[in-house]
Chains A and B, each alone.
Chain A
């Protein structure tokens, strides 16, 4: 048993916990952070950058977005079902946060859209001076370096277990256990919970949202996100909120493999359901949230992306219809071979190849083959004129005619969960009567309910942006609280 003393204990060191650790340590507070993984950064190490509104980059690039415009579209999108004060405060702080990160040494490649219809709010962290992958990891390192320079201490492989409150109800300590099983107790005034949700806990997702893993939800696996922060906070008296999944759609077994496979199947071609009907304007397939939602409500929670050999040939010659930074490949030369590898792997049912459309439908398990053939015929006709069903732009209308045909079997998945701990716009944790619990803060995904039912993809960078900004709010709040105390 080890006894430690601190002003602030931070549970979880993703971008929210790291931002909080920088702010609190910057204010001269003694900060101890517990991380159960070997590295800090959390899921954001896979991300590319946070949202910013009204930044220098947007001004330089003449991007027309400001807080008022973003706020209005956001509240319209969420039907005002979310905390307007938090949204406003977050958006207003976001430009300053980008500058703050730059002061920490983070370079940004610029402000970007995720897909054509979105706004250029995504501030992508420069990797080797340009756009690379996983820039979030570099941003997180900058925050960690700063916090450590300020004297914050980080304990790895040391999950926090319990948040303690004193007789008056104020936060007074945290218990943790290191990898060798030694118990650590810290006396502290402030706890900031930022553990990133429950994206690796099918049980908790079932309990809170009713999803059944492998049936109507697939492969949300960001190792370690077990919802412990949410459970710990609730156990310590926090009120809970509605939880949602940050929905996407994936090929459950092939998302990690050869990149050309998911990339080609995510192109805006023909997407049908198990009844053989279209159910979406495939242009939307770039909006992974909307498409995830649409697939979720189909029978069997499955969507079949259909392409033919002509389309592959066109893509090889002229390039893909749509690319984004996440799904980015230099070429798709290995597409057919990679598909064949998947077909040969009995453990991977994600791809079907067939010489005829009938055979394709049967192999896919499409229940109404005649309907499917009719859908393809109508679709092909519309390719000559226009999409009178869902109004997809003509440039994305490519007929399905030449075998072999390929189908990618898409399923709903998610980037993780959202929400769980009730806070106000200052990131103070509230109890069931909406009273502030003194010294108790939470930030990041554990608290993020600002999107309502579906992730707001029109302002990309939102997940990480919310985390960094609320992390800062929590750290600043902790500093004020300790000063008053």
Chain B
């Protein structure tokens, strides 16, 4: 690469010979107005705003399409050039609305900004407005082409950059316009990547309102799956890796944020899919199932060497109370940052709810233990069967302590007569008994009180234990539970008694039945949280059973003896805020996961573990940086055309028949086949490609680099 020297506005500039005059100027902080030019696109020299005077050349040259040459002398503020710029600006306002009123792009519009800089705001030429009405008929993007100034950036982005060409120039009523190449974006095989929106300098092509959240930074907002994931896993990148057949790489990408890819692939409540923009086309990409596929096809585990590498030891000792997802996640990162971490688990197996609070058929113990093994391999010590009674006392032996015990005590509705009978259990007791091979006296028929997901977890477990199972709940159709989990249990033979309220557990020394009545409606008093119901008269009857299970929520089970301040519900509080948070009342004792949030989902516990690890590292004198890069990434922006892309249907995993699956605790599904995984990853809109595009810059950006006050 040879370098050339040239002069722009009297300044000597040295630059690469392949640069254009415009690039050379901009690189050196000399602003030349430009609009059709975009640094990621091939120049077309059409807008004539970037004209400059080159000494020794008649007239003016377009700086975006002229390469630099040795000894060139350029004047950007030449009189003729400025005149032409004003005229060009004027031409754009012939068609563009002359008033900005009501334009949602106002304040971020490059045309308005250029018009301000050039000092020409239109109206010297006769208006010829484009009579195109606003078009909101396409998903995700809207078109108000009466604002279009024909810079062609969208057409070039879609064509040259993406290889899709869903947009084109065409003559409509004798006038040139940018149009969709087909009846609709979907029919034009648009890939809905959003590049056209990203490069549009005016308000002509925009994201529909509500597609992106405004309260997130750009890299999360524009990639909604990543934004919605509490751990911000780089989802498009790992979908791409799976699509390229590289599951190891996919797992590496997932592991950059979470130490439990497989567990999440099995049971995550996939909020990423709520963000997935594909839902506006038909349905979201099946992200969780792809994650499971990646984790189950991660054959060489090529990420492992980097993953197990830890920082130089700091000599600081950390104790983590609770070996669930939150505690283990924090332990992994704190160990990685050089601290010596010991995890104390009260049960005989680590994993928390993953190994003892959810059914085996949803999340096999082996899968979880394999992932915990990696954490141990990295140097974390896990001590089982070791309950901790007092966190404050433990702190005396350690530099920092994390309380991550979750909500591991099931609630029983003790106001219900008969709730003290021996065969009355909490949901957790059943699930733990099954997972940990403990004896439990359920008899033949189990009545489960509650209508959430946990109730159906217990139902599925009891069915597999060969029991007759009844679920009794207030909600019509057990609407608190996810329909999939409810229907799966019902298919397996669970009997549902919805719109039922409980009166008493019957039995004399041994449970014999549940006395219930039917209700027509209910709600909880907002003040007292007491149940207010509308009973159906004379509907009382008894549902016979041998045992009762309360699936009525879980609590921390903590008392004041634990040595940290608690609120009245038994959750640790940070006295500085009065609410539960990562800090507790004892300096150096932290808390995270379900124990501060109440029972949430696996991904929330992991995200909490990450955040608290960062905070604890800072407390221990570290920088708190826990982000790691385990693999390089390359995303090819040239995604090309796929016939009928928008219509490709979501793939669902094939599940075993209810009759077969209820006979054992093996997983309900084998997961995606290779073909299904490939097809499903191919549906991804690759929203992250948009971040590759250079953000639009404005004249004020070239003089406004505000760093001077930095300390």
Contacts and interface: CB of A to CB of B under 8 A. Distances in A.
Contacts of A221: 102, 104
Nearest to A181: B217
Interface in A445-471: none
A127 B121 contact: yes
Interface string A107-139: 000000000000000000001100011110110
Given A133-B121, A148-B703, A181-B216, A39 B112 contact: yes
A297 interface: no
Given A128-B86, A140-B116, A259-B127, A154 B700 contact: yes
Given A128-B119, A138-B116, A46 B218 contact: no
Among B103, B107, B216, B703, which residue has the most Cβ atoms of chain A within 10 A?
B107
A348 B97 CA distance: 17
A341 B146 CA distance: 13
Interface string A305-340: 000000000000000000000101110001001100
A38 B703 contact: no
Interface string B183-222: 0000000000000000000000000000000001111100
A224 B106 CA distance: 9
Interface in A333-360: 334, 337-338, 341, 345, 347-348
A132 B120 contact: yes
Interface in A193-232: 219, 221-224
A222 B701 contact: no
B127 A330 contact: yes
Interface stretch (B56-64, B128-136, B270-278): B128-136
Contacts of B109: 39
Given A2-B710, A154-B704, A256-B101, A41 B108 contact: no
A30 interface: yes
Given A148-B703, A148-B704, A329 B108 contact: no
B98 interface: yes
Contacts of B696: 38
A137 B709 contact: no
A5 interface: yes
B279 interface: no
Interface in A428-442: none
Given A132-B122, A140-B116, A186-B709, A255 B127 contact: no
Contact of B119 (A38, A39, A138): A138
Contacts of A182: 217
Contacts of B216: 181
A153 interface: yes
B305 interface: no
A257 B119 contact: no
B107 A133 contact: no
Contact of B706 (A5, A154, A326): A154
A334 B100 CA distance: 21
A323 B116 CA distance: 25
Contact of B100 (A4, A45, A186): A45
Given A135-B121, A257-B146, A5 B711 contact: yes
Interface in B510-555: none
Contact of B134 (A138, A179, A337, A347): A347
Interface in A1-36: 2-6, 30, 32
Contacts of A328: 123
B709 A32 contact: yes
Nearest to A188: B709
Nearest to B110: A38
B700 A144 contact: yes
A365 B102 CA distance: 26
Contacts of B122: 132-134
Contacts of A146: none
B31 interface: no
B131 A5 contact: no
Interface string B678-711: 0000000000000000001010110110101111
Contact of B133 (A156, A326, A337, A345): A345
B706 A179 contact: no
Given A39-B112, A258-B131, A259-B127, A132 B107 contact: no
A427 B507 CA distance: 77
B710 to A, nearest CB: 6
B188 to A, nearest CB: 22
B434 interface: no
Given A148-B703, A153-B704, A39 B113 contact: yes
A39 B698 contact: yes
Contacts of A3: 710-711
Contacts of B701: 38, 156
B129 A46 contact: no
Given A37-B108, A39-B116, A141-B117, A256 B99 contact: yes
Contacts of A103: none
A289 interface: no
A255 B102 contact: yes
A245 B216 CA distance: 30
A2 B708 CA distance: 12
Contact of A46 (B101, B698, B700, B703): B101
A38 B108 contact: yes
Contacts of B395: none
A184 to B, nearest CB: 10
Nearest to A151: B708
Interface in B661-680: none
A133 B133 contact: no
A45 B98 contact: no
Contact of A45 (B112, B119, B711): B112
A30 B107 contact: no
Given A255-B99, A330-B127, A45 B108 contact: no
Given A39-B109, A153-B704, 16 more contacts: A3-B711, A30-B709, A32-B706, A39-B107, A39-B113, A40-B700, A127-B120, A137-B121, A148-B704, A154-B704, A156-B698, A179-B218, A255-B101, A255-B102, A329-B127, A348-B133
5 smallest A-B Cβ distances: which pairs?
A181-B217, A37-B107, A153-B706, A137-B116, A4-B709
13 contacts: A4-B711, A38-B701, A39-B108, A46-B100, A132-B123, A133-B99, A134-B116, A140-B116, A179-B217, A222-B106, A223-B106, A223-B107, A256-B99
Interface of B: 86, 97-109, 112-113, 115-117, 119-124, 126-127, 129, 131, 133-134, 136, 146, 216-220, 696, 698, 700-701, 703-704, 706, 708-711
